[in-house]
Amino acid sequence: MMKWPKCAALLTACCIVILAAPAQTSRASKAAQYATDGQQALARNDYADAEEAFKKLAALEPGVAEIHATLAAISFKQRDYDQAVHEVRAAQRLKPGLSKLDSLLGLSLAEMGRFSEALPPLEKGFHQTADPEVRRMCGLELLRTYSEMERDADAVETALALNKLYPNDPEVLYHTGRIYGSQAYNIMERLHDTAPGSVWMLMAQGEANESQKQWDAAIVAFNRVLTLDPHRPGIHYQLGRIYLSRFHDTLNSADQEQAMREFTAELDVDPQNGNAAYELANHQAQLGNSDAARQQYERLLQQFPDFEEALVGLASANLALQKPADAVRPLERATHLRPGDEVAWWRLAQADRAIGNLDGQRQALATFQKIHKTIPVTLRKPNAVDEITPQSIDTAPTGSAKAPIP
C-alpha cells in the first residue's frame, strides 16, 4: 500500500490557535494550557503528547470543531486512519465548511481501502484545493484510488495533471511512471535527471531489473534503498515479491523462505500493508495449512473488507476445510467487486454445487466460461497497483477434487 508521510499542510490548516486571553475562570485557564501544551508538542513533532493534550481540550470544549479537526490531523500522522475519519466527521457536524477536512477525510478513507467513499473528497481536494501540498497529496492518493477501481483512463489523466503541476517532484514522477506503462521509460529518464541518487531512482532501477528477471541486480537495488532508509514502507514487500519470483524460476526453497521473511519484515515496518499479509496467508494455503490460512485471510479482511483476492482466498480455504456454505458469501462479494474475476466465479460454482444450489452453480459456471473464453488464465492480472500473487484456477483447494476447466 502507498503511504504519503508529508501532511504538514493539512496539520497546519487543521490546528487551532487559542489566544492567551486573561484567564477569567479555571476552565478557561485549563483550556489555554491544554492548547499551549498541544501546540508545543506539535512544534517538536511529538504527536502522542499532542494527541493527549488536545483530547483533554476536546473533553473540556466538545463543541469546538477546530479541536476535532486538529485531532483528525494528528491521528492521520500517526496512521490511525479510523480515528482520523471519526474526528473529521465530528468536526464536520459542528462546522461543515471547515477548511481542508474533505481532503483529510478522503486521504484517510483511501488509506483504509475504502476507495469508493474516498473518491469524491479526493477529487474535490485535487481539483478545487488551492494549497499545493494538499493538492499534491490528494492527487497521489487519487492515482491509487482510480487504479484500485480499475478506472485506468482517469488514472492516466490524473497522472498527466500531476506531472504538469509538479514536474520535478521525484515521488510524483515515480508513481505516475507506474501508471503510464508505455511511457514509463521517458518518465524514469526525467527522474534520473531530477534526483539521480534518490531512493526513488534506486527503486526505479530495482523495478527495471525485476521486469527483466535480473533478480540479483533488483535485490541489490532495493537493499540499497533500505540502507538509505531502513524504515521505508513497501521495500521489504518488493524484495519479498522478487524472492518469490526467483523461487518460481529456480524452485530453490531458500528463496521462498526469504520471501516470507521479507513479507513479515514489511508488516513490522508497516502493519497496514495488506499485500504482505495476503502473501503470508496465501503461503499458508499453498502449504495446505487451510485453517491457518483462513484465520489470516479473516484478519486481513477485517482491515480491508474489499480486498477481492483475499475474499477468494478465504473462500478457497473454506472449501478446503469442507465448509462450502462459508465460502459462498465471500465469493458473492468478490464477484460483485470484480465481475471479471474468473477464479471467483469458478470457486462460486464449486461452492454452489457443494451446497446443492444447482441453479447458482449453472449461473456461476456460465459466467466463468464466458470470461475464460475471452481472457485466458495466462493473461490474467492482479487487481492492485502493487502486484500480488493472484488466486489460481489451476490448483484446487487442498482437500477437494481438482475439476477440469471447461
Domain boundary among 139, 167, 182: 139
DSSP letter assigned to residue 356: T
Question: Domain of 44: which CATH number?
Answer: 1.25.40.10
Q: Is 215:247 a contact under the CB 8 Å cutoff?
A: no
Contact at 8 Å (CB) between 146 and 162? no
**287 within some domain:** no
Domain boundary among the residues 196, 229, 264 is at: 196
Task: Judge whether 246 lies within some domain.
Answer: no
Q: Which residue has the cell 494549497?
A: 131
CB atoms within 10 A of CB 399: 12
Nearest by Cα to 300 from 287, 319, 285, 320: 285
Measured between its terminal Cα atoms, the distance across the chain in Å is: 36
96 and 22 assigned to the same domain: yes
Domain-located, residue 396: no
- Distance in angstroms (rounded) separating the CA atoms of residues 53 and 386: 38
| Domain-located, residue 33 | yes
Domain assignment present for 168: yes
361, 353 Cβ separation under 8 angstroms: yes
Task: Give domain status of residue 127, yes or no.
Answer: yes
Same domain, 90 and 21: yes
Residues 4 and 131 in one domain: yes
Question: Does this model's pTM top 0.85?
Answer: no
Looking at beta carbons, which pairs linking 175-183 to residues 24 or more positions away fall under 8 Å? 175/2, 175/140, 175/143, 175/144, 176/143, 177/204, 178/385, 179/143, 179/147, 179/155, 180/156
What is the distance between the alpha carbons of residues 383 and 298, in angstroms, rounded to a whole number? 19
CB 209 within 8 A of CB 242: no
Smallest CA-to-CA distance from 346 within 330, 361, 358 is with 361
Question: What residues contact residue 322 under an 8 Å CB cut-off, 6+ apart?
Answer: 399, 400
Q: How far apart are CA 152 and CA 199, in angstroms?
A: 26
* Residues 106, 18 share a domain: yes
What total of structural domains would you count in the chain? 2
Same domain, 41 and 134: yes
Q: Say if 123 falls within a structural domain.
A: yes
- Type of residue at 48: A
Instruction: Tell me, yes or no, whether 118 and 179 share the same domain.
Output: no
Residue 285 lies in a domain: no
Mutual orientation of helices 47-60 and 65-77 as an angle, nearest 10°? Answer: 160
Q: Which residue range forms the structural domain that includes residue 134?
A: 1-139
Residue 92 sits in the same domain as residue 12: yes
Residue 96 host element (H or E): none
For residue 239, the SS3 value is helix
Q: Are residues 44 and 9 in the same domain?
A: yes
Query: Residue-wise pLDDT tens for the chain (406 aa)?
Result: 444 334 555 555 555 444 344 445 688 888 899 999 999 999 999 999 999 999 999 898 999 999 999 999 999 999 999 999 999 999 999 998 887 899 999 999 999 999 999 999 999 999 998 899 999 999 999 999 998 998 888 999 999 999 999 999 999 999 998 898 746 666 678 888 999 889 999 998 998 899 899 999 999 999 999 999 999 999 999 999 999 999 999 999 999 999 999 999 999 999 999 999 999 999 999 999 999 999 999 999 999 999 999 999 999 999 999 999 999 999 999 999 999 999 999 999 999 999 999 999 999 999 999 998 886 544 444 443 347 898 988 655 544 444 444 4
Helices H / strands E in the chain, number of each: 21, 0
Distance of CA 118 to the CA centre of its chain: 12
What per-residue confidence (pLDDT) applies to 326? 98
Residues 10 and 107 placed together within one structural domain of the fold: yes
Query: Do 131 and 1 share a domain, yes or no?
Result: yes
120 and 1 both lie in a single domain: yes
**Which among 118, 139, 160 is the end of a domain?**
139
Shared domain for 30 and 164, answered yes or no, is no
Run of H or E including 233: none
